Amino acid sequence: MADAVISRLASLRNLAVRPTSSVLKYVKTPADPGQVARELYVNSVLEGTYQRIGPVIRISLQLQLISRDTGAARWASRYDLRADDMLKFQDDLAQKVVENLSIQVSAAEHKGSMTRSPEDYNLYLQARYYANEYKMRSTLNSIHQGRQLLLQAIALDPRFAEAHSSPSESYGMEAANFQQNSKENLALSEGAAHEALRLNPNLGEAHTALCAVFAEIGRLEDAIRSGRQAVALAPKLRLCLRHARLCVPLCRSG
């Protein structure tokens, strides 16, 4: 859930958000919010705890947005949620952060392409867990398990753009790091990215996935073009910036 909220906030042009990989270390070794803010070079920290209650997934969350400079809470709230509340909760939470930090949000940023199905969204969240697991452990099994969940999500809601974009990244990672079936995986990655962009042309992650595919197959001008589009749409998303920066020296050397 934290990863999904981070991705939602990172899509806002006027807000810089640290990626999930930067905050994972605090899961096992909790730290004072002020210390976290200083270590990550951020002005505010969104902190929360949750508890699952009963056989039906019910989550109790205590959240607070804490200022680095004063240590005071800008905003705090408590939520009691059922599984089918999670989609609305993510949107509400993002809106509260935007309001309390006085972030300017465009009309396009308000318009999302998330599914409205709680079951579908849960599959998407599980898949993101495996994507992060791969980044930490680099196991092919993590890629395959995450992708299987994403394909299930797409089957439930074919118009879920983010679910199309994520397997594009998944196929691309496999092609770049595992030689077997790399050509086929690159083709699948490109196809999934194009479908995601057909559903949501403003999805920075999909442009990033295309940038990576084009760089791998030597279409370097196309890679730079896609990288620039990704950065223009999601300038605070670290993955977009990394791929765009990699493509420029590749093009010069080619």
Tell me the domains of the chain and their CATH numbers.
2-110 (3.40.50.10610), 118-253 (1.25.40.10)
Examine the pLDDT at 41 and tell me if it is beyond 80.
Answer: yes
Q: Which of 100, 111, 104 lies closest to 14 in space, CA to CA?
A: 104
Maximum Cα interatomic distance, the chain, rounded to a whole number of Å: 59
Residue 195 confidence (pLDDT): 95
Examine the pLDDT at 158 and tell me if it is beyond 70.
Answer: yes
Instruction: Choose from 8-22, 25-39, 46-60, 239-253 the range with maximum mean pLDDT.
Output: 25-39
Residue 45 confidence (pLDDT): 84
- Min mean pLDDT across 32-46, 108-122, 147-161 is at 108-122
Residue 53 confidence (pLDDT): 63
Residue 59 confidence (pLDDT): 55
> What is the SS3 string spanning the chain?
CHHHHHHHHHCCCCCCCCCHHHHCHHHHCCCCHHHHHHHHCCCEEEEEEEEECCCCCEEEEEEEEEECCCCCEEEEEEEEEEHHHHHHHHHHHHHHHHHHCCCCCCHHHHCCCCCCCHHHHHHHHHHHHHHHHHHHHCCHHHHHHHHHHHHHHHHHCCCCHHHHHHHHHHHHHHHHHCCCCHHHHHHHHHHHHHHHHHHCCCCHHHHHHHHHHHHHHCCHHHHHHHHHHHHHHCCCCHHHHHHHHHHHHHHHHC
Examine the pLDDT at 160 and tell me if it is beyond 80.
Answer: yes
- Min mean pLDDT across 75-84, 88-97, 109-118, 226-235 is at 109-118
- Chain mean position to CA 111: 16
Q: Within 13 Å, how many C-alpha atoms sit on residue 30's CB side?
A: 4
Top-confidence residue, 186 or 117: 186
Share of the chain above pLDDT 70, in %: 73
Top-confidence residue, 89 or 176: 176
Residue 230 confidence (pLDDT): 83
Examine the pLDDT at 184 and tell me if it is beyond 90.
Answer: yes
Per-residue confidence at 63, pLDDT binned at 50, 70, 90? low
Examine the pLDDT at 147 and tell me if it is beyond 80.
Answer: yes
Share of the chain above pLDDT 90, in %: 18
Query: How, if at all, do strands 44-52 and 73-82 pair?
Result: unpaired
